[in-house]
Structure 1
Amino acid sequence: MSVSATPQAPAKASFKFPFWAQIITGLVLGVLFGWLAKSQDISWLKTTLEQVGDTFVQLLKLAVAPLVFFAILVSITNLRKVNNAARLASRTLLWFMITSLIAVGIGLAIGLLTNPGAGTGLTPQDGKLPKKTGSWIDFLTGIVPTDVVTPFTELNVLQIVFMAAVAGIAALQLGAKAQPVLSLAESVLELLQKALWWVIRLAPIGTVGLIGTAIATYGWDLIGKYATFTADVYVGSALVMFGVYPLLLATVAKVSPVQFFKGAWPAIQLAFVSRSSVGTMPVTQKVTERLGVPKEYASFAVPFGATTKMDGCAAIYPALAAIFIAQIFDVQLGIKEYVLIAFVSVIGSAATAGLTGATVMLTLTLSTLGLPLEGVGLLMAIDPILDMMRTATNVAGQAVVPVIVSAREGILDKEAYGAASSSPLDERPAVAVAA
């Protein structure tokens, strides 16, 4: 018996709208809506942009406290699955310090060459004291919490990291007895990361609100007053991200810098928009693993870096800001002060806590140098625009160090590294449009 074939309708072609294109679209729309709100004085549009941006950032922050705790706890205990765990941890910390020193050196060099505080028209009277300040006493005494609840309610990431580290080390000491707790922690971490992926899907919409609010609130005139300083931060960050990191990858890790950026780009672009290293952490970890870094090591290095490795916020920016503020307040800086800036950048970077903004780190730097804290007020208005590039640099550094360490220790999967691309991650959205 013959069966006649039924003609099949041709499948509809689909066009996938890549995530990076969604982000770019959000940037363009944000600039457009922000310009309209500013130039036409459309108050409802400005309010809407603020609400959209604030909601997106708040959703990211909502997951920060438990995400940091369980990520650090699990990452420390995962080290038991890695050979030479102590060596890997020490090498990671060493390269964090090396790259931070290079970044702060670039920041100081650019600041001394360009004199960002000269000719701005700003005066000490334009500054104001920040709401939050940082000092070495606050930094050292603030590491240990007074109770286990307050760090979560007040989002004190440094104290959360401390408690998670203590819990992780204790779990390692207990061995098999701690396994039920570790299994629960791993399940909770996966749950949190899954929920955060849903928030990340909203990044293009959040971009419209965040960029639009920045343009609508500050406008181009204010940016003009800080033109040199803004350019310095972006140029310094670009030199580190696209100069120093590729050079280290090519000479130290002996891998292709182009392949690194192909693989790491989803995390870098999300960091630029969200302005949160911790909020970007799940994406950073995924791209790091996709670049061939062993999962057990990546699950330690990336969360550790997301809370302590800040080449943009804690190295380049404080160096430039210190020079900028010193020039505004007519304070002379010498070799001793520049050495102190480098010291603060390397040791105190955990004060930035992986959240939006770098106010605490900046006040820590200024108080160490004896510069007026009112200088922070001079930079608050322009901070959101600067923070985008700073955070992108932070996250690039948080991915590049595990690659370098893995390559030097002979545990990097070169085949996976060579196959890495900027294609969407498994759980990252790609909008399909029927053709």
Structure 2
Amino acid sequence: MNATKPRGNGTLSDANQSPDDGNSASKKPHHSNSLTYWIAGAIVAAIAIALTVPNVATHFEIGGELFLRALKMIVVPLVFTSVMCGILGLGDVRKLGKPGAAAVGYYLCTTVLAVIIGLVVVNVIRPGVGTVDQAQLDKFAQKDTQPHQVLRETLAESSGLSEKLIGDVFPELEVNSEKAPGVETILENLALMLVTDNLFGAAVETQLLPIIVFTIAFGALLTTMPYETRTITTLVTEANNALLAFVMALMKIAPLGIFCLVAARFGKAQAEGRFLDELGQIGWYFAAVVIGLAIHALIVLPLIFWIVRRENPYRFAASMSQALLTAFSTASSSATLPVTLECAEAAGIPKRSTEFVIPLGATINMDGTALYEAAAAIFIAQAIGFDLTFGEQAIIAVTATLAAIGAAGIPEAGLVTMLIVLGAVGLPLEYIGLILAVDWLLDRFRTTVNVFGDSIGAAVVGVTIPDEPS
């Protein structure tokens, strides 16, 4: 492209060439270590208060809900503008092929690795062998309530959504359904999730994948007509800068919001008095999942980062600490998305990579969820004495990979796709109740791994994106 002509490719350097080039919204975000310490301290303080005075801690729920809603409020517009900026920043739709293939390849490889780690760990530790009382197993086997209805109620309670909306998001949770949805359900859902008949309806329900697909297609079209779309390019770029500035302002109250979120959730578990009892029954299962997640997050993902970028992965992880702590607090990769984008850019990842890879990863890159589902299925089989052959475990691996990709980015959505994994090898669905009591806490760990995987993906895919033309 001729450098003397006005460029309409949507790169940030083009959009920001204005007399007010020093505008803070256009600068790279500043990563504050002090804020990270405040957030970490807020989590510790919240857990301490929840364990000592749980009835007081539960009253902080309104503050946590307000903070969570503030984060979710900007997710949809930020996904639209950030992905659009990422596509426009490439300048030519043909340049999307290599980073797009790299992103999909990364997602598949890391998800498969996570599933393999989960299977290995749970087969080595064998957390379900001789650890669960027969009386506990009989309790779930004799329950009249259908697992589908139990999951609808659990998801509605944890996510704050109505049961009707949960049913719309997860049509497989039919109240009168007597069997688990199969692999064909996953494939159908994945295909239907790509396109929506109502873009505004998808935005209302925070269905990010069809929004991302539309944005990629629309942005690719704009790159073919740069001169006619200069105004749209400038508008989208400046809107993205403004939204990121809003995120940075919101993070100033993050310690307070995160304190309320964590205190309320841990306080509720402590007040009910069932959490520690259930943890005593399935503590080895809990430990096996956490160990698997730790191996994936502290060894496998950092190794991939180092191989591709030849940089210190743990220094990068420290730069992402605000996003990781927020992920642990909210248990939602979608709600954490604004913070993940801000932290990744502050960590030095090319903005065109973060804007394209991270929103996509927040919807389909679920390493932690895939590992958890594989481990949970094997644990349930071990607990009820169901011997799984190598072939059946391979089926679990494949099903868990596909199910994790199709999991929604709301708290505890992995429980829904667990039905598919259990049904794939004929495991009784009612025994999913064994893991419900501790799932809300494991959900926080696996969401943190999911978010870290997204940020590593942006760093890895960033090396495939050509340098921005000067």
Q: Normalised by the size of structure 1, how large is the TM-score? A: 0.79
Counterpart amino acid of residue 67 in structure 1: L
Q: CA deviation at 1:302?
A: 1.9
Would the aligned equivalents of 1:34 and 1:213 in 2 still touch at CA under 8 Å? yes
Would the aligned equivalents of 2:98 and 2:465 in 1 still touch at CA under 8 Å? no
Say if 1:374 and 1:71 are closer, same or farther in 2 by CA, change over 3 A.
farther
Aligned match for 1:351, one of 395, 401, 406:
406
Q: CA deviation at 1:353?
A: 3.6
Q: What is the match of residue 179 of structure 2?
A: none
Paired residue secondary structure (1:18)? helix
Q: What is the match of residue 335 of structure 1?
A: 390
1:21 and 1:405 map into 2 onto residues whose CA distance is 30
Paired residue secondary structure (2:194)? coil
1:21 and 1:260 map into 2 onto residues whose CA distance is 16
Q: CA deviation at 1:27?
A: 1.7
Aligned match for 2:223, one of 156, 160, 172:
172
Q: What is the match of residue 46 of structure 2?
A: 30
Would the aligned equivalents of 2:326 and 2:336 in 1 still touch at CA under 8 Å? yes
Would the aligned equivalents of 1:72 and 1:303 in 2 still touch at CA under 8 Å? yes
Q: What is the match of residue 48 of structure 1?
A: 59
- Quick check: 159-168 or 296-305, which moved more? 159-168
Q: Deviations over 1:238-272 (max 9, x none)?
A: 11111112222333432222332233333222222
Counterpart amino acid of residue 49 in structure 1: F
Q: What is the match of residue 5 of structure 2?
A: none
2:80 and 2:102 map into 1 onto residues whose CA distance is 23
Asked if 1:120 is matched to 2:143, the reply is no
Q: Deviations over 1:399-422 (max 9, x none)?
A: 22232344577969xxxxxxxxxx
Counterpart amino acid of residue 66 in structure 2: T
Equivalent residues in 2 for 1:95-114 (5 A)? 95-114=106-125
Paired residue secondary structure (2:362)? helix
Q: CA deviation at 1:320?
A: 1.1
Instruction: Report the RMSD for the aligned CA atoms in angstroms.
Output: 3.0
Percent identity, please: 26
Asked if 1:187 is matched to 2:198, the reply is no
- Quick check: 75-84 or 269-278, which moved more? 75-84
Say if 1:369 and 1:76 are closer, same or farther in 2 by CA, change over 3 A.
farther
- Quick check: 180-189 or 98-107, which moved more? 180-189
2:386 and 2:356 map into 1 onto residues whose CA distance is 42
2:240 and 2:329 map into 1 onto residues whose CA distance is 24
Q: What is the match of residue 382 of structure 1?
A: 438
Paired residue secondary structure (2:411)? coil
1:165 and 1:410 map into 2 onto residues whose CA distance is 18
Aligned match for 1:202, one of 229, 239, 253:
253
Would the aligned equivalents of 2:88 and 2:223 in 1 still touch at CA under 8 Å? yes
2:344 and 2:240 map into 1 onto residues whose CA distance is 18
1:179 and 1:366 map into 2 onto residues whose CA distance is 51
1:294 and 1:384 map into 2 onto residues whose CA distance is 34
Structure 2: gaps spanning 5 or more residues: 1-31, 153-165, 173-184, 271-275
Counterpart amino acid of residue 46 in structure 2: G
1:312 and 1:31 map into 2 onto residues whose CA distance is 23
Equivalent residues in 2 for 1:317-328 (5 A)? 317-328=372-383
2:231 and 2:466 map into 1 onto residues whose CA distance is 33
Would the aligned equivalents of 2:65 and 2:261 in 1 still touch at CA under 8 Å? yes
Q: Deviations over 1:28-72 (max 9, x none)?
A: 22122212334xxx3xx2441322333322222222233333333
Q: CA deviation at 1:318?
A: 1.1
Q: What is the match of residue 147 of structure 1?
A: 198
Q: CA deviation at 1:175?
A: 4.1
2:279 and 2:380 map into 1 onto residues whose CA distance is 17
2:401 and 2:90 map into 1 onto residues whose CA distance is 24
Would the aligned equivalents of 1:293 and 1:411 in 2 still touch at CA under 8 Å? no
Q: What is the match of residue 221 of structure 1?
A: 277
Counterpart amino acid of residue 22 in structure 1: W
